[in-house]
Amino acid sequence: MTTTGTTERTAPRSLLLRNRDFRHLWTGSTTGKYGASVTSVALPLVAVTILHASTFQVGLLTAVTWLPWLLIGLPAGAWVDRLPRRPVMLVADAAALLLFAGIPAAAWLGLLTIGYLLVTALLVGTATVFFQTAYTALLPHLVAPEDQAEGNSKLHGSESAAQLAGFGTGGFLVQAIGAANGLFVNAATFAVSFLCVLRIKYREPRGPVAPRSRGALGREIRTGLRLTFGDPYLRAMTVNGGAANLALMAYQSILVVFLVREVHLSSGVIGALMTGGGIGGILGAFAARRLAARIGTARALLFFELLPSLALLIPLTTRGPGLVLFLIGYMSVSFGVIAGNIISSTFRQQYCPKELLGRISASAAFLNYGTIPLGALLGGALGEALGTRTALWITIAGLPAAASLLWFSPIRRRCDLPTALPAPGPASQGEPEPASR
């Protein structure tokens, strides 16, 4: 009995219980994802129901939200590496709070226009670039290396659950309080995120401030790009992420149109299918660490990146029993994407020097997120020209093509991913490939 009692007392507690700073970061992140999901419903409805925006204008709202990753993603990474990350996150949260609260205020005053929404979306996207880059660089400071896999699993799992809740309640909130007023919910989530980040006690040590010569920013950006695209592991994951997001956004941009016009489903059934399929993301968050521990992180990453290929079942969807094909395909995408993100995020946090993580993360995000607006345009163009079912076949085929980029990389020849960048110089013996070129 004594042995059993000791074992119970010394068993490791959940990271949420034993790490106060991580708990605050987790709470703020989960709340923010819920608000973002509500906004994905409310903002297009504001454009359509209040401003009578065209289909192109509604699509443009999505595009300008992601455009800052292409415009300032690279310099943002260099700037974040120069600054304490927590204050950057606080400023970004405060800016997004004010911007979203301004939309219903402008509607009340009769000042709301489609141009106002586009500018707001662009500025919120800019704040997101800085918050996400700083968030990625701060997390390894808050969580010990041996806890990073658990931390990423909890973050991605709770974010998936929050997104499902946001999709499920977004329509109800819009119906209950109006499309513009629904954006107050998102403003409130940024207030929660701000308070959570404010309560993080960790402070990054202040080092000596080196003088910045002319061209220093450009050199720092090139350093991030060189490390990201010169390293075979980082390069493979980054190019895979960009190609996968291109295919994902291309098919998702026409998915609802396909379900309405080809399968003839009601909006309620479509919402239920999306919610049911999204449960795969929660399951993926639980499975990522467990499968990686059993078969190795590199092998698990390959499996999770290949799993969304089952989305090729989606174009076969029909009414009745044929809806099962949609659920299998959609769940495989959300399962594989979330699980793969957990492994790749943990890998970057362990593999990359902390002082360079902002630049490396921004360099990867520049390609990963920069393909999103391009994918939306591609999906719409193919759907218009070829029909939605044919366009789905073409765009979803991009998912296994993206996964093949990892298959033909050094990752395929490893059991586990490396945990640190090798020192400059000749590659260590026993490595299947040099870690940098």
Backbone angle region of 423, left / alpha / beta, with phi > 0 → left and psi within -120 to 50 → alpha: beta
Compute the distance between CA of residue 434 and CA of residue 437 in angstroms, rounded to an integer: 7
Alpha carbon distance 415, 334 (integer Å): 24
The per-residue pLDDT for 268 is 65
C-alpha 281/C-alpha 227 separation (Å) is 30
**Is a pLDDT exceeding 70 seen at residue 244?**
yes
Taking the CA atoms of 69, 74, 77 and 83 in sequence, report the sign of the dihedral they define.
Answer: negative
- Per residue in 344-388, pLDDT (tens digit) is 888 888 888 777 777 787 788 778 888 887 887 788 788 878 888
C-beta neighbour count of 276 within 10 angstroms? 15
Written as six digits, the tokens of 350 are: 């362990």
Question: Domains plus CATH for the chain?
Answer: 18-202 (1.20.1250.20), 231-419 (1.20.1250.20)
Q: What is the pLDDT of residue 324?
A: 93
pLDDT of residue 424: 52
Does 205 or 82 have the greater pLDDT score? 82
Burial label, 18 (beta-carbon count in 10 A; 0-12, 13-18, 19+): exposed
Task: Kindly report the average pLDDT of the chain as a whole number.
Answer: 81
Mean pLDDT, residues 407-426:
78
Task: Determine the average pLDDT of the residues in 112-124.
Answer: 91
- Give the model's confidence band at 433: pLDDT under 50 very low, under 70 low, under 90 confident, else very high: very low
pLDDT of residue 207: 54
State yes or no: pLDDT of 307 exceeds 90.
Answer: yes
Least confident of 112-121, 295-304, 337-346, 362-371: 362-371
Across 144-148, 289-293, 307-311, least confident range = 144-148
Task: State the greatest distance between any 2 C-alpha atoms of the chain, in Å, as a whole number.
Answer: 72
State residue 110's pLDDT score.
87
In angstroms, the CA 258 to CA 212 distance is: 53
Tell me which of 355 and 170 has the higher pLDDT: 355
Identify the pLDDT of residue 4: 39
Place 154 in a pLDDT band, splitting at 50, 70 and 90: confident
Higher-pLDDT residue of 33 and 295 is 295
* pLDDT band for position 170 (cuts 50, 70, 90): low
Residues 6+ apart with CB under 8 A from 322: 263, 316
Q: Tell me: pLDDT of 8 over 80.
A: no
Tell me: the pLDDT tens digits for 69-99? 888 877 887 788 788 889 999 999 999 999 9
Sign of CA dihedral 279, 349, 230, 133: positive
More confident residue, 432 or 110: 110
Q: Quick one: pLDDT at residue 362?
A: 76
Asked which of 9-13, 18-22, 42-46 is least confident by mean pLDDT, the reply is 9-13
Mean pLDDT of 401-416: 90
Instruction: Tell whether the model's pLDDT for residue 426 goes beyond 80.
Output: no
8-state DSSP, 48: I
Q: Looking at the predicted structure, is the pLDDT value of residue 320 above 90?
A: no
- When pLDDT is cut at 50, 70 and 90, the band that residue 328 belongs to is very high
The confidence score (pLDDT) of residue 9 equals: 43
Q: Does the pLDDT at position 11 exceed 70?
A: no
Residue entry with tokens 């979203």? 100
